[in-house]
Structure 1
Amino acid sequence: MFMDGTYHLHGFYMQNPTGALCQIIPEVLPEFLAPLENHTVTQGRDIFFTCVVNHLHLYKVAWIKSDSRAILAIHNRMVTHNPRLSVTHNGHDTWKLHISNVQQNDSGSYMCQVNTDPMRSQMGHMVVQIPPDIMDDESTDGYVTRERGSIKLRCVATGIPTPTVTWRREDGKNITIREEGREKILLRQEMGNYLCIASNGVPPTLSKRYSVQVHFVPVIKVTNQLVGAPVNRNVTLQCTVEASPRAMHTCEFALNDYSWQMNLTVHDLEKKDFGGYTCAAVNALGKADAVVRLQGNDELICTLRLLEQKRIEGTRVKQKLELPTETTPGSISRNTNANIKKKIRGKEKSHRRPNDNHDDRDNNLSGINDFGTTQMMGVGGGTHEGHRTERPIILPSVSPPWVILVNKSQSLCVSIETIFLLLFATIFLNN
């Protein structure tokens, strides 16, 4: 009994006494035992297709690139001259097509074909994935603009599948898009490195750095414009410089891409060291400077102690003092008049403190550091006359934090000139 299928008949003649006999022998055609697999592979890897054929007999197996109809191999013999392709046979029913170092042009359909009539074949597909790549930009000198200008960063990424491109700042800060009218502008805060990141699920993810420079004229910031310190101590004067391109200065500590802190330390302070110190910076766009004044704090501290004693005695001082609503040690600030004026015979006469070489200014006491350094903030200009205060002075009930001792055996002493001025101030302002 024959089964369904295609058969080839072979006949032969046999002679015997009873006559001729014809015998029919069926032949089974080749058949594929497993489908040809599909592959998704990263560029540069090695893969192979496996074709399993049963009942091949005298037929041959051929490998064909379907989209180009190019014959790659017949049985064990290579037809193509591509050195990355090869075939193997296990001696029974399995043939393999090997592709090494897979490239993008290897993508497509591959056919395993048996030369029957009609021909039998099966097909497998290969997709080659390519990691992302970022094309080189024509701008190789970096990106530079003046402050409030604009630049354009262009990032073109290729790969299979098509990559997704994202932007972020290298320092982790948020990217801020500022607009002025219809124009997008850049401020100095936007200066730094920006990363274009391309990813498509095929490792590795690729990034490219873009350096953005924002140029502006130097700016100098001085937190403490007046610094007081006792002699024989060390004191450090500070200023902050903002400049791009980088200003020409020394002794600095970088705060960010465009800010530096400049320190000047005076060791074993002497009276001859008192005076003004200029912090200066210059770049290609301009220059800037600021003055920090250094002076002794003996008179300042002793004056505050006397005022504290006056408060305890219930004496009202007619000189106007502005105190903060909250006072904390090390951060108390008040405005005092640098000149103490009195009336003599209907005329005003101004008394200045000894060794006061600068104009009348309102000084803010910002606290004393651990080394006995008194820092004054916000030096203003102009002359302010003392006048009668309508409310009593409110001072801390405990010893003020700005009172320090030069040594353990004795406290700071006011000079004779200071006592003289304070006595005159008390007498004439009470009149």
Structure 2
Amino acid sequence: MLHCLLFLCIILWDCPTSTSTLLAPEPDENSLISYKPYFSKKLFNYTIHKDRDVMFSCNVKQLGSFNVGWVKADSKAIQAIGQHVITHNPRVSVSGDFNTTFNLHIASVTQEDVGQYMCQINTNPMIYQSSWLTVQVPPDFDVIGTTGDLTTREHEDTARFTCRAHGIPAPSIQWKREGGMRIRARMGTNNRMVDQVDGENLIIHRVRREDMGAYLCIANNEVPPAVSKRIYLYVQFPPSIIDGSTLLGSSTGKDVTLKCIVESYPTAFIVWTHHDRVLHNDGHTYLIEETPISMYTIVSRLTIKNYQDKHSGSYKCKGENSLGKIDSSFRVYTTEVPLPKYEIIKTPREREEKPEKQVKEQILERVKTTVKQEVQNTIEIVEQLNKEWTEKKTNVAPTGILGFNSAASQIQTSYLVVLFVFISFYF
């Protein structure tokens, strides 16, 4: 009996292709059709994210003996009649009082659920309402259409990246460089440094070592979550060494460190030599450490422990990969140990204050110097006068000479007396 009813329903509910809503006229109390059913509310269109639930609600009045059914218009598949679910889709269910309210539920919607849904009443002619379901799908990458990691040769190759993604609505594509670094991208006929590139394609002409690194393809259509794909660009080139200090002097007993910065890809094998003898990291005499600072740069350090004269001479840092090799020379020499210099530093007060004894000695020395100078001057004057008197050959020459000598002796004695009195008084 149920199968016959379903067959009859399918015949009677041939779904129209129009998206319009066919409503019964509003009932009129004086009209002959006042007891026919009608829709009391309109259906709404829904836009929903994938994997979420949706509910269509159909409200009718004066249903009487008529039935309400749900049909998916594009496939003409009956979803439910009244309180009975017809479809075999386990995600579809119904609810309501099944007299004035008929709800159709679809759980965890997918792209297959997109389309027009109709609430029908099997009157003659049939009346119905329709609602559109749009399912938004977050972006996902097209694995086949998206470029993988690239390996190129420096100054020779052009890197071409392609990134494709699908989703509803269609996602937009942006390229960024990991770590916030800028992209040297082809813009028209020129290369420019930019923060991001829009579009599926990213082109870098004549790649350089600075272009090496991770590039992010970001797909976004405002339906969370946005997705990103990391694509690496590898740039191959032979080793090169960045110039640094190549002449170092050290006194014996100290540690000496030589630094060698090597750029290469693939990564270079680095060795240190002393007078062409390969050095090993023995931890006692020599300590060798390597520190990578980028995808293509390594800092190698050679530390000579407890440096002695025998460690002086020529050292070499050598780097080699499959594309070439290079070396850089260093020279280490022994320097003399400077003797320490000591200086007595006095405070400002100490510099201003002088010992009492030192002050007296300075005054006495000045007085002695002054008296001695004056006595010497007096003697010279007397000698000059005696000389002049002798030349005149007068009769009083002896007396004069003796007089002058006596005068000089008295003057000298006077100065000595003055000096004695001064010293006695002061000290």
TM-score bracket, normalised by the shorter chain, equals 0.5 to 0.7
- For residue 182 of structure 2, the aligned residue among 131, 150, 174 is 174
Paired position in structure 1 for 2:235: 214
Conserved 8 A contact 2:148-2:231: no
Q: Deviations over 1:277-303 (max 9, x none)?
A: 1111111111111111111233xxxxx
Conserved 8 A contact 1:222-1:238: no
Matched ranges for 1:28-427 at <5 A: 28-137=35-144, 142-148=149-155, 149-177=157-185, 184-249=205-270, 251-298=289-336, 406=338, 408=340
Distance 1:5 1:225 in 2: 111
Aligned-partner SS, 1:158: strand
Question: 1:221 deviation in Å?
Answer: 1.9
For structure 2, list consecutive stretches of 5 or more residues without a partner in the other structure: 1-26, 192-202, 271-287, 343-427
Conserved 8 A contact 1:143-1:212: yes
Distance 1:93 1:152 in 2: 62
Distance 1:108 1:407 in 2: 94
Paired residue type of 2:332: L
Question: 1:75 deviation in Å?
Answer: 1.1
Distance 2:185 2:147 in 1: 24
Paired residue type of 1:126: L
Answering whether residue 14 of structure 2 is matched by residue 7 of structure 1, we say: no
Paired residue type of 1:277: Y
Question: 1:145 deviation in Å?
Answer: 0.7
Q: Pairwise CA RMSD of aligned residues?
A: 2.5
Paired residue type of 2:82: H
Distance 1:33 1:200 in 2: 37
Q: Deviations over 1:233-265 (max 9, x none)?
A: 112100100000111237211221111111111
Conserved 8 A contact 1:241-1:261: yes
Superposed structure 1 runs of 4+ greater than 4 Å apart? 137-141, 178-183
Paired residue type of 1:187: R
Distance 1:6 1:117 in 2: 17
Aligned-partner SS, 1:152: strand
Question: 1:51 deviation in Å?
Answer: 0.7
Aligned-partner SS, 2:137: strand
State the TM-score, normalizing by the size of structure 1. 0.62
Question: 1:138 deviation in Å?
Answer: 7.0
Q: 1:407 to 1:205 in 2, by over 3 A?
A: farther
Q: Deviations over 1:343-395 (max 9, x none)?
A: xxxxxxxxxxxxxxxxxxxxxxxxxxxxxxxxxxxxxxxxxxxxxxxxxxxxx
Distance 2:340 2:159 in 1: 63
Q: 1:167 to 1:5 in 2, by over 3 A?
A: farther
State the TM-score, normalizing by the size of structure 2. 0.63
Question: 1:407 deviation in Å?
Answer: 5.8
Distance 1:33 1:67 in 2: 25
Q: 1:105 to 1:195 in 2, by over 3 A?
A: same
Q: 1:82 to 1:280 in 2, by over 3 A?
A: same
The more displaced of 289-298 and 179-188 is 179-188
Distance 2:308 2:237 in 1: 38
Aligned-partner SS, 1:276: strand
Conserved 8 A contact 2:68-2:82: yes
Conserved 8 A contact 2:154-2:236: yes
Q: 1:192 to 1:206 in 2, by over 3 A?
A: same
Q: Deviations over 1:108-143 (max 9, x none)?
A: 111111111121111111110000001114788721
Aligned-partner SS, 1:7: coil
The more displaced of 137-146 and 235-244 is 137-146
Question: 1:183 deviation in Å?
Answer: 8.9
Conserved 8 A contact 1:137-1:155: no
Aligned-partner SS, 1:176: strand
Paired residue type of 1:75: G
Distance 1:113 1:280 in 2: 85
Aligned-partner SS, 2:174: strand
Higher CA-based Rg:
2
Paired residue type of 1:110: Y
Q: 1:5 to 1:153 in 2, by over 3 A?
A: farther
Q: 1:118 to 1:6 in 2, by over 3 A?
A: farther
Paired position in structure 2 for 1:415: none
Question: 1:7 deviation in Å?
Answer: 2.4
Q: 1:177 to 1:85 in 2, by over 3 A?
A: same
Q: 1:407 to 1:101 in 2, by over 3 A?
A: farther
